[in-house]
Amino acid sequence: MQVLFKGSFIAGMGSYFLDIDLITVMIGYLLIHWGRIGACIYAFFFGMLIDFFAAGVLGLFALLYMLVFLIIEFGSRFFDLHSIKGQMILVLLGAFARELFLVGSLHFFSYQVHLSSSLFLGFAISAGVTALIAPFVFSLFEWFRAFFPGPMVENP
């Protein structure tokens, strides 16, 4: 669903330059409220879902989102994921690392992708916009959580 939404949203804006990564934001949110296991399962599942819909190397996005999970998980030891600043920093690091490792792995699999300054700038802007919307998405899901209480467990 997120893949289809992102494709139609970006196409509607007329710009393929901006890549807002909501899965990275959700990994951070789920790490807070569902713990490591829930966020890890989410990262792997949606990575595999993107792999099934993408015409590329099977398992590539699952690996990338597991990497994002590990970056946010280990980064949460240094930055508070409950604070707005920590959310923005960790989502920024995760989204930027995902883009860099995607280009690196595509280059490794001989897809003729080269890292240029304009591509690097696009990655930085996309990761920055993703980081800027992360606190708003976290707040939105907190608002939804107030209406639909469930068996969510906070991560200590």
At 106, give phi and psi (nearest 5°).
-65, -40
pLDDT at 79: 93
CA dihedral 114, 115, 117, 120 (to 10 degrees): 140
Whether 156 is in a domain gets the answer no
Whether 134 is in a domain gets the answer yes
Whether 154 is in a domain gets the answer no
Q: Quick one: tokens of 35?
A: 């713990």
Its domain, for residue 67, covers 2-147
Give the confidence band of 4 by pLDDT, cuts at 50, 70, 90. very low
Evaluate if residue 23 carries a pLDDT over 90. Answer: yes
Evaluate if residue 7 carries a pLDDT over 80. Answer: no
The DSSP output letter for 34 is T
pLDDT at 127: 93
CA distance 75 to 96: 14
pLDDT at 148: 75
Alpha helices for the chain (secondary structure H):
2-13, 22-33, 35-53, 60-75, 84-108, 117-147
pLDDT at 5: 45
Q: Please state the domain count of the chain.
A: 1
Whether 155 is in a domain gets the answer no
pTM above 0.85, yes or no: no
Whether 96 is in a domain gets the answer yes
Q: Which of 8-22, 57-71, 108-122 has the highest mean pLDDT?
A: 57-71
pLDDT at 54: 82
